[in-house]
Structure formats: C-alpha cells, structure tokens
Amino acid sequence: MRRALGTVLFLLLAPLAAHGGAQKYEPLSASVRGALSQSVSDRAPEHSSFEDSMVAIDWLSEMSGRLTKRIPDREARLDFLRSVHYEATRAGLDPQLVLGLIQVESGFKKYAVSSASARGFMQVMPFWVKLIGRGDDNLFHLRTNLRYGCTILRHYLDIERGDLYRALGRYNGSLGQAAYPNLVLGAWHQRWKYSTSTLAQH
C-alpha cells in the first residue's frame, strides 16, 4: 500500500515530460554574451506592450478563449498571456509565433522537462543560465522562462539573418530538418494567427 501511494505521489509531483528538442551549446563572443546577458536581466515591465487598451482587451480576450482548455484558471491564463505578449514584443517577435512554439515545445506545461533537460514553457536548456544569466535564475519561473526563450529565439533569428525556418531549427537543436519548424509554423498559422483587423468587427 505504501509503495503504491509513493508511486502515485511521485507521478503527481514529478516534472511533466516534454517532447521538444534542445538548443545546442555554441561558443559566443564576449560581446554577444554581454548583449544576451543584458537582455535576460529580469526587470519588471515598465509599461504595457500593447498599443492601447482596446488592443489589449481584444487580444487578451481572443487568446484567452483559445487557451482556456490548456490553462483553465482565468487569472493564471491572463498573466501568462500578458507575459508572453510583453516578452515576445520586447524581443521583436510575434506573440502568436511564441504561442505556437510553446504549444509544440511544452504543450503549455509550466514544469515540463524534456529528455535533454530543457525546462519550462519554452523548453530552455539549463546551460543558458550559466552562459548568459545568473546562478539563481529559475527556468520554471514564468517570466524568466519566457525572457530566456524569446531572447534565445531572437539570437538565432539574428544569426540566420531573419530566416525563421532555420532559426526554429536551431532553437530545437534540429537545424536542417523540416519536422520541427513545420510543427511550429503550423501551430502558429492554424491555431494562434491573429489580426488587429478583428477590432473592426467588435
């Protein structure tokens, strides 16, 4: 009986497995490391990332409806979406692209861990903390995970001169293979695509 109870507790408390890949360690120049380190420094948002309050209401309402089954708690869901929008916009990324990436990488599981030890919503590899972060950065913390993930994807986009397909391959550790970029792009366009033109319909 005790053994069965222990097994149940382990399954409930153990980090959820993820199916995403993993970024690969690559030596970085001091200037790149410095820029990335500055980018991931965890400061609280100074302002909203939305153009105005109506855009914020419309986007949050639309995305919240699409995400309800994945994150049932409304307040947690809205906090997650505000954080995704802020960190993606800050990194010059489309927030809906980031939602598509998270869907593929972790299935919106905060404590997901892949077989390669990538962690959290955006499946960030722990070596990045040593490379550009601080020793006490927690990759299971919402904003920390999103900050790292968006910064890393932006870095790969810069390396690939804006080629999103190749940048996604680098992010997943599968550069040159079609499966992962196609999954993310498919999730982005089929599930999360959004246009501000929907405001005119309200």
The whole domain housing 143 covers 27-201
Task: Output 195 or 39, whichever has higher pLDDT.
Answer: 195
Q: 160 lies in a domain? A: yes
Q: 61 lies in a domain? A: yes
Give the pLDDT mean for 107-132: 94
- In this prediction, residue 29 has a pLDDT band, given cuts at 50, 70 and 90, of low
Q: 18 lies in a domain? A: no
Q: 137 lies in a domain? A: yes
State residue 49's pLDDT score.
83
- In this prediction, residue 31 has a pLDDT band, given cuts at 50, 70 and 90, of low
Q: What is the CATH number of the domain that holds 185?
A: 1.10.530
Q: 3 lies in a domain? A: no
Which of 24-28, 162-166, 173-177, 197-201 is predicted least confidently?
A: 197-201
State residue 23's pLDDT score.
72
Q: 13 lies in a domain? A: no
Assessment of whether the complete model's pTM goes beyond 0.85: no
The DSSP code sequence of the chain is -HHHHHHHHHHHHSPPEE----PPP----HHHHHHHHHHH--PPPSS-SSSSHHHHHHHHHHHHHHHTTTS--HHHHHHHHHHHHHHHHHTT--HHHHHHHHHHHHTT-TT-EETT--BTTTTB-THHHHHHS-TT--TTSHHHHHHHHHHHHHHHHHHTTT-HHHHHHHHHT-TT-SHHHHHHHHHIIIII---GGGGGG-
Task: Output 30 or 5, whichever has higher pLDDT.
Answer: 30
- In this prediction, residue 32 has a pLDDT band, given cuts at 50, 70 and 90, of low
Q: Is the pLDDT of residue 64 over 50?
A: yes
State residue 17's pLDDT score.
46
pLDDT tens-digit series, residues 69-116: 999 999 999 999 999 999 999 999 999 999 999 999 999 999 999 999
